[in-house]
């Protein structure tokens, strides 16, 4: 067994390394390779400029509860007067025993503090500014009737995927927009550029320009005859050419994601020196893009073998995949049709990676969507909360696998599905190539 394996391998890899090396050198000599890669880098770094600009722009703080105003004009902000027990509406009543606070102290003074939420009812929240605890009656302090003063009930229904927030008055009502917006915006940028820019656009444009002609150009130019007139099966030629293609595209994808993770890791918000958790998200984005470009590459190369204008088939396929990208991103994991695409599985890789590296991501979204509980009831009587900045984009670009299994298993399953798609595509491609008459 082992000697036979040795012998098959030792001769196969001589041929495979020859074709892989040759293919990679061929890519390096082509201008189109550099144009495609250069254009991708330029496009992504332009997006990065917007991101860096956003990260360096302060988001205007909003005084949600209005207690930074000095209604009676006695020099003390309303919030401070309420806390000290004086009347904020009378200029004769003020806490003379303390210095008046600057009004900024009473903006963003009651941030949202939710612990790790679990399924079922959670009692969370903390009244930092005392405007709940200082209220007179216990029914005012416990308007959600759970016998705990000044808290928030967050009810999570994992079966239906709904979350209901019932807060006592004036608890966590004035969050820090800038802090939240930076964090959510940072994550939304990574997921947006990662899912759409890298996994889809890069994952489909690299194969479109680099893989479609992998065999087709050789046939058109007649140079395929040098390869076909050798003791090597056509299926092997296809396989090794594909490996050469991956030898160029995969390092490019990994390198690009690594550079992006470094830049965003240092410029992103946070107390730490570097956002280490982001590194994992970037690497799952890179992995998804690698898998997706493998499948697209094999399919497009096959299209090139079938028809001399195979790029037309590739573009039609890309249109389907573009639709599936929107379905997969916008449905947030609730759509089943995305399973009939390549990109849908790529998105599952990213989503499961996010769930592992940012376990608090979904909670961050819910916090932002509640946004301190300000809002209006609609005609059905349901509250429509004003979301904090960044919460909606983050919600848009986040998703879940929808597979009903743990994140790690979803990651493995989606990777295996993509590998399987790639192998099937290669198998069909080599069958077509074998039966192809090359003139």
Partner 1 sequence: MPDMTQHGKAETQQWQPVANTPVVMFDRVSKTYGRINALAGVSIGISGGVTGILGLNGAGKSTLFKLMMGKIKPSSGAIRLFGTDPWKNPAPYSRVGFVPEHEKMYDWMTALDFITTFARLHGMTRDEATKEAIRVLSFVSLEEVMHKKIGQYSKGMRQRVKIAHALVNDPELIVLDEPLQGCDPLARTTIMNVIKELGAMGRTVLVSSHILHEIERITEQIVILHRGRVLALGNLHAIREMLDQHPHKILLDCKNPRGLAKDVIDLEEVTGISFVNPEKLLIETKHLGEIHQKLPQIIVDSGQIVTGIDNPDDDLQSILMYLTGGSP
Q: Where does this chain bind partner 1 (CB under 8 A)?
A: 3, 6-11, 13-15, 17-19, 21-22, 25-26, 29, 221-223, 225-234, 435, 437-439
Closest CB to partner 1 among 66 and 235? 235
Min dist CB 304 to partner 1, Å, is: 17
Min dist CB 35 to partner 1, Å, is: 17
Min dist CB 10 to partner 1, Å, is: 4
Closest CB to partner 1 among 210 and 291? 210
Least Cα distance to 218 among 419, 8, 19 occurs for 19
Closest CB to partner 1 among 39 and 438? 438
Min dist CB 216 to partner 1, Å, is: 14
Min dist CB 223 to partner 1, Å, is: 6
Min dist CB 308 to partner 1, Å, is: 16
Min dist CB 416 to partner 1, Å, is: 24
Closest CB to partner 1 among 73 and 231? 231
What's the CA gap between 233 and 241, in Å, rounded?
Answer: 12
Closest CB to partner 1 among 82 and 234? 234
Closest CB to partner 1 among 150 and 214? 214
Least Cα distance to 198 among 248, 280, 242, 257 occurs for 257
Closest CB to partner 1 among 24 and 59? 24
Closest CB to partner 1 among 56 and 439? 439
Min dist CB 438 to partner 1, Å, is: 5
């Amino acid at each position: 067994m082992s000697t036979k394996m040795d012998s098959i391998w030792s001769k196969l890899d001589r041929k495979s390394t020859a074709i892989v090396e040759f293919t990679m050198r061929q890519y390096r000599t082509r201008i189109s390779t550099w144009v495609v890669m250069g254009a991708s880098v330029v496009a992504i770094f332009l997006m990065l400029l917007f991101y860096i600009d956003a990260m360096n722009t302060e988001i205007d703080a909003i005084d949600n509860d209005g207690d930074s105003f000095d209604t009676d004009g006695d020099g003390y902000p309303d919030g401070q007067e309420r806390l000290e027990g004086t009347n904020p509406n009378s200029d004769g009543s003020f806490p003379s025993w303390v210095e008046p606070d600057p009004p900024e102290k009473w903006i963003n003074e009651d941030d949202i503090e939710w612990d790790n939420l679990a399924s079922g009812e959670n009692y969370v929240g903390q009244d930092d500014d005392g405007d709940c605890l200082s209220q007179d009656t216990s029914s005012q302090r416990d308007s959600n009737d759970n016998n705990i003063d000044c808290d928030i009930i967050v009810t999570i229904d994992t079966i239906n995927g709904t979350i209901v927030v019932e807060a006592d008055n004036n608890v966590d009502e004035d969050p820090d927009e800038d802090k939240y917006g930076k964090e959510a915006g940072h994550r939304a940028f990574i997921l947006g550029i990662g899912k759409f820019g890298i996994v889809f656009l890069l994952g489909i444009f690299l194969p479109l320009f680099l893989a479609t002609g992998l065999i087709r150009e050789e046939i058109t130019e007649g140079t395929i005859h040098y390869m076909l007139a050798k003791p090597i099966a056509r299926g092997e030629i296809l396989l090794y050419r594909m490996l050469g293609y991956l030898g160029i595209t995969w390092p490019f994808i990994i390198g690009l994601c690594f550079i992006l993770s470094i830049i965003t890791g240092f410029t992103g918000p946070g107390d730490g020196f570097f956002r280490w958790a982001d590194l994992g998200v970037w690497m799952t984005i890179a992995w998804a893009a690698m898998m997706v470009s493998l499948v697209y590459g094999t399919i497009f190369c096959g299209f090139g073998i079938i028809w001399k204008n195979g790029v037309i088939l590739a573009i039609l396929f890309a249109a389907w995949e573009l639709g599936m990208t929107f379905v997969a991103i916008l449905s947030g994991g609730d759509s089943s049709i995305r399973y009939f695409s390549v990109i849908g599985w790529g998105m599952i890789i990213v989503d499961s990676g996010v769930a592992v590296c940012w376990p608090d991501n979904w909670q961050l979204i819910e916090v932002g969507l509640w946004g301190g509980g300000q809002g209006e009831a609609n005609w059905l009587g349901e509250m429509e909360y004003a979301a904090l900045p960044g919460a909606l984009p983050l919600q848009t670009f986040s998703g879940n696998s929808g597979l009903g299994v743990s994140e790690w298993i979803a990651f493995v399953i989606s990777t295996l599905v993509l590998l399987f798609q790639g192998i099937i595509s290669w198998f069909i491609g080599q069958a077509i190539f074998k039966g192809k008459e090359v003139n």
